[in-house]
Chains A and B, each alone.
Chain A
Amino acid sequence: MKDNDVMVCRCSDVSLKELRELIKEGYHTFEEIKRITRIGMGSCQGKTCGNIVLRELSMATGKNINELNMQSNRPPVVGVKLSLIAEEADRDEL
């Protein structure tokens, strides 16, 4: 399979080709790559694509994957409907 047929990020439609070109351009951290491509910003929040990106970064930079950082973990852990949060907040106030 060609690089541009391999999808690294299913939420934001980013191909392996695009990822590798970006790394070649000098974007060498997950956070930088995320901001250009939106990798990790979709519904999965990097749970699917995160390790693939780190592996590619590790191969390109020669750094051990342990030395590379995943994106910042941000709340909530899983997607929650805003209406549910609002209902709970209203209930707390009763």
Chain B
Amino acid sequence: MSYSADVVIIGAGISGCSIAYNLAIKGIRNVIVIDRSYIASGATGRCGAGVRMQWGTKMNCLLAKESIEFYEKANEILEYDRDVTFYQGGYLLLATTEKEISQFKENVKLQNSLGIPSKMVSLKEAKDIVPHLNTDILLGAAFCQKDGFLDPFLTTDAYYKAAKRLGVKFLTYTEVKDIIVNNNKIERVVTDKGDIWTDKVVNAAGGYSKNICDMVGIDIPVYSDRHQILVTEPIEHVQGPMVMSFSMNLYCQQNPKGPFIMGRGDDNEPRDLRITSSWKFLEDMAKTIKNVLPPVANLRVVRQWAGLYNMTPDKQPIYGKVDEVDGLYLAIGYSGHGFMFGPLTGIIIAEMISDAKPTVDVSLLGLNRFKEGNLILEPSVV
């Protein structure tokens, strides 16, 4: 089969589906979204389901704030027949060192200046928010009530259905094999189901973003590595916020439907595309949770899985065009928080493609920042 499209989006995760929807509402509807598997089968569907405004760089704060404000109204705006299950129970960030306390204070100051209602809380206040928290091992915490839980599958499904209603075509179980470039311009995308003729391609391939850029000969400074998560049996709702610690390498929240989800990274992970589960993760996670949220350790773990973080050197995404190939747009390198930025990713990339005035100026997040050495490092990633 042979197709043609105004825009081809590679990747049907939150970013790809959100970009497709935003193009469609701007009237650009001859759009094809390709995924090698099903909707949200990659990093989106494997993520920890948390969204937060509490970041350490201005760009990440702005992207997250705007996105969460969209998520608050997502069911209505996307006219979704189910419920994206947005529960704003907050994020409680734990500090175990003086250095973390001063970092959090700095972050809160930045966040407040951007209109994010975060605050430092005492150990007593932290205990009031999460009664089963072991505060003996802590020095303090930061809290933002607007942060919370959001269902990644249903949210992506909401974007997918809305885009489909507006005429966007989705080719799932279709693998991109090559991208043909002619005179520095995109000519077509080669897939295992046939060629798609187009002059615009959006790389929203998450963990596989580098593989896509390799097809057009662009070397991007990103790598993917495995991050693991586990989920417990469900119980009645007892924990409002996501509990998170950078120094103890942990995030843990209760899905409003009952189960606890918890995950961590590992600095010793090889940089590859494996998404298998490891015994070591299970042990490390069990020991950490027993220390931080002791009663939660009495729950049975029913399943563990893994997904890919697509990491950039400054842990902020890469948005926009590239100098070398005309018609290629990047929406990659979220470093573990692409799901949270989904709404803004869609708006920004659709505005770039249609040459509209940007809602948020993301010129600082272009690929060229790495050539120019213009990096502002995000300090707050698990």
Contact = CB atoms under 8 A, between A and B. Distances in A.
A88 to B, nearest CB: 8
30 contacts: A12-B257, A31-B38, A32-B38, A35-B45, A36-B157, A41-B231, A42-B302, A43-B233, A74-B303, A74-B304, A75-B279, A76-B303, A79-B233, A79-B300, A79-B302, A81-B298, A81-B299, A81-B300, A82-B232, A82-B285, A82-B296, A82-B301, A83-B286, A83-B290, A86-B286, A86-B287, A86-B289, A88-B283, A89-B287, A90-B287
Interface of A: 11-12, 29, 31-32, 35-36, 38, 41-43, 45, 72, 74-76, 79-83, 85-86, 88-90
Interface residues of B, number: 34
B302 A45 contact: yes
Interface in B295-333: 296-305
Contacts of A35: 40, 45, 153, 157
Contact of B286 (A12, A75, A82): A82
B286 A89 contact: yes
Given A35-B153, A41-B303, A82-B298, A75 B282 contact: yes
Contact of B38 (A12, A29, A43, A89): A29
A80 B154 contact: no
Contacts, number: 84
Kindly name the residue among B38, B39, B283, B286 whose own CB sees the greatest number of chain A CB atoms within 10 A.
B286
Interface of B: 38-41, 45, 82, 153-154, 157, 231-234, 257, 277, 279, 282-287, 289-290, 296-305
Nearest to A29: B38
A24 B246 CA distance: 44
Contact of A74 (B153, B257, B277, B297): B277
